Each structure stands twice: as structure tokens, then as C-alpha cells.
């Protein structure tokens, strides 16, 4: 009981750092994924080449090494030391954004060709096609993979403790070092990670249901029929 009361504030503080890095990394990854993913679907060879280079570079680089480079090596090049939290968000966002870009590109390409042809027949501009027809359908297909990427980013944020960010993993290490209770320290961290994951999954499921409902993919609940009144409509 003393372990819980003494260490709970530390774990809550660590969870807040983990949440901050996850949300910040997801926001950056989402912007990159949408921008690079759409670039990868354009007819321009230059645009597709830029998208392909970005995806191959950042998908092929370990997020941990990228974070170390930004925090330890970048100051040697630029003379500017990044805040550790910002370095973590940047590294995770750039890495996960590459995977998200492929998800976006694949979802857009999966929209039936007839939809493109219909927008052309209706004389839509490319921006109108994308905004009004293509993206709403592709969005529903992107969400399940985006949900997985969010959870992977949150779990990947555990490495930020290596650059002295006081996240959940860092707190677990500190509690174990000061109390000697290895089992309790890391079990508490596992539980906190699990709870955070459930929160993110809940919101992603809500977003998926909303997207599918807008596309008419979920049948509306049938209204309960009112029982007929006895004798009503009977033969005279």
C-alpha cells in the first residue's frame, strides 16, 4: 500500500510525458502521412519521387538512432541543442509518418476507379475530387491502420527515457532503483501503458464507426414496431 501511495504521483507524471510525446508525435506523423501519402498518388513523377524517397529513408532508419542523432549529433552540426521532448516527438513523428504515408497512399489507390470517373464526368477540380469524394472513402480505410500506428508510437516512446525524459519507463527505472521492488515498479508501468493504449483505441474505434456511418456502411438500428391494437383493422 505504501508503494502505491508513494509512487503513484511519479507514475502519473510519467504518464503525462508519455501522453504528451504520443499526441505530439501522432500530430506530426498525421500531417506528414497525409501530405506525403497524397503526393505519392499524383501523376507528377517528381512528386512521387519525393514521396518515395521520404518513405524509404525514414522507414529504413531506426527511430531510436534517429532520436539519438537529433539529440546528440545535431548540436554538433547546427550548434543548437534540441529539447529532449521535442527531439523525441520529431524522431517518432518522422518515423511513424513514413509508415502512415504508405497507408494513406494505399487507401487512396483502393478507391474504385468508377469514383474517379464520376468526379471527372461531374467536372470536379482535382481538389474537389480529393476533398469531397476520394478522401471520405479512403479515410474509413486508413483509420484501422492509423490506430495500430498510434499504439506502436506510444509503445515506441519508451525509448525516450534514454535521453532523460521522465516518461513511464524512466519512472519505472527510478522507482526500481530507489525502492528495490523490481516486480512492482515495472508492473505499475505496464498497467499504465495498457490503460493509455485503451484510451487511444477507444477514440479510434469511435472515429471508425463515425467514418463508416457517414458512408452508410453501418445499418441503422431498426425501430421497434408498435404492437397492433386488438381489433384494429378487423373486418366489420
Q: Rounded distance, CA 41 to CA 43, Å?
A: 7
pLDDT exceeds cutoff 90 at 121: no
What would the pLDDT profile of 132-161 be if each residue is shown by its tens digit? 888 888 888 899 899 999 999 999 899 998
Percent helix, strand, coil in the chain, to 5, is: 80, 0, 20
The whole model's pTM is what? Answer: 0.83
Contact between 137 and 215 under an 8 Å Cβ cutoff? The reply is: yes
Q: What domains sit in the chain, N to C, each tagged with a CATH number?
A: 2-214 (1.10.3720.10)
Query: pLDDT-based confidence at 1, cuts 50/70/90?
Result: low
Best-predicted range by mean pLDDT (19-23, 161-165, 215-219): 19-23
Return the closest-CA partner of residue 18 out of 139, 165, 231: 165
Amino acid at each position: 500500500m505504501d508503494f502505491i501511495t508513494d509512487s503513484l504521483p511519479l507514475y502519473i507524471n510519467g504518464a503525462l510525458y508519455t501522453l504528451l510525446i504520443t499526441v505530439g508525435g501522432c500530430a506530426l506523423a498525421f500531417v506528414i502521412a497525409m501530405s506525403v501519402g497524397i503526393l505519392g498518388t499524383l501523376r507528377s513523377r517528381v512528386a512521387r519521387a519525393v514521396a518515395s524517397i521520404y518513405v524509404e529513408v525514414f522507414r529504413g532508419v531506426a527511430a531510436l538512432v534517429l532520436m539519438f542523432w537529433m539529440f546528440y549529433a545535431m548540436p554538433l552540426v547546427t550548434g543548437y541543442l534540441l529539447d529532449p521532448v521535442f527531439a523525441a516527438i520529431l524522431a517518432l513523428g518522422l518515423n511513424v509518418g513514413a509508415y502512415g504515408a504508405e497507408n494513406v497512399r494505399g487507401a487512396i489507390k483502393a478507391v474504385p476507379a468508377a469514383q474517379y470517373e464520376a468526379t471527372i464526368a461531374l467536372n470536379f477540380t482535382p481538389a474537389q475530387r480529393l476533398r469531397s469524394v476520394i478522401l471520405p472513402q479512403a479515410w474509413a480505410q486508413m483509420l484501422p491502420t492509423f490506430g495500430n500506428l498510434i499504439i506502436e508510437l506510444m509503445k515506441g516512446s519508451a525509448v525516450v527515457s534514454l535521453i532523460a525524459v521522465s516518461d513511464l519507463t524512466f519512472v519505472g527505472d527510478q522507482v526500481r532503483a530507489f525502492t528495490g521492488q523490481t516486480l512492482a515498479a515495472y508492473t505499475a508501468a505496464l498497467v499504465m501503458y495498457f490503460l493509455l493504449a485503451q484510451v487511444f483505441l477507444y477514440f479510434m474505434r469511435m472515429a471508425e464507426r463515425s467514418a463508416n456511418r457517414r458512408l452508410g456502411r453501418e445499418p441503422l438500428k431498426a425501430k421497434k414496431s408498435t404492437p397492433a391494437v386488438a381489433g384494429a383493422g378487423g373486418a366489420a
